[in-house]
Amino acid sequence: MTSWNDFFSRTDIKKEIKKIDDYLEDEREKYVDILEILPLKENIFKAFDLCSLEDTRVVLIGQDPYHNIVNNKAQAQGLCFSVPEDFPLPPSLKNIFKELCSDLGCEYPKKGDLSYWGKQGVLLLNRSLSVLQSKPNSHKKIWSYFSKEVMKFIVEQKDFCIFICWGLDAFKSLKDLELDKHVVLKATHPSPLGANKGGFFGCKHFSKVNDILINKKMKSIDWKL
């Protein structure tokens, strides 16, 4: 059975992670006592720890981690769009929850921790797995090869998967990949700038995912938090 270990043990990926680690250490030294690298080091690959390749049925593609420190704690926790349980909800997550409630008729979640989704087979994967505090997209370039290769690995190794792409950047992560055996759901980004232009609210991706999974004789996702 193929696993994430098959990806992370590849020679090119090991070299790439070594390069990323060296870069992040240089960043930490450069900005020591000034800026943090987010999320915490132990949470950078949390999405893969939470959701095995075998269990992955849905890939929710984010851009890069939240770049804020709230009450001296990292807002990012290694899962796209997710924040620790006791944190205030960022604007994008508020819009995601608005669409969730509208789509499923459920109660508005009281917490922003999306780990429950990850444990059910939703890979909560950002294209960049780290960011410099207060500097969005600051690590996009260093993660570009890793991001491209992990998406290619998922597409090639999985017999079927649903990719949720909110925003053009997420959709670009699938560029030039053979997606015939998979399903791609697209909408605008849930940030206020994207969502309020139209194209996110009313996309009904939560119910559409479950309709597709049920039609495939696969277990649906309990999206309620």
Task: Look over the chain and give the mean of its residue pLDDT values, rounded to a whole number.
Answer: 96
Q: How far is CA 70 from CA 48, 67, 132, 217, in A?
A: 25, 10, 14, 42
Read off the tokens for 121.
């087979």
Annotated catalytic residue within 12, 26, 64, 176: 64
How far apart (Å, rounded) are the C-alpha atoms in residues 184 and 207? 14
9-12's contacts with Cβ under 8 Å and 24+ in sequence apart are 12/149
DSSP 174: T
Give pTM, 2 decimals: 0.96
Q: How many CB atoms neighbour CB 223 within 10 A?
A: 20
Mean pLDDT, rounded, for 144-167: 97
Higher pLDDT residue, 136 or 198?
136
Q: For 46-68, what is each residue's pLDDT tens digit?
A: 999 999 999 999 999 999 999 99
Give the pLDDT band of residue 20 (cuts 50, 70, 90). Answer: very high
* Strand bridging mode 73-74 / 69-70: antiparallel
For the chain, list the domains and their CATH numbers.
4-215 (3.40.470.10)
Give the pLDDT band of residue 71 (cuts 50, 70, 90). Answer: confident
Position 198 scores a pLDDT of 85
Phi (first) and psi of residue 163, to 5 degrees: -105, 120
Instruction: Look up 180 and say whether it is catalytic.
Output: no
Position 29 scores a pLDDT of 94
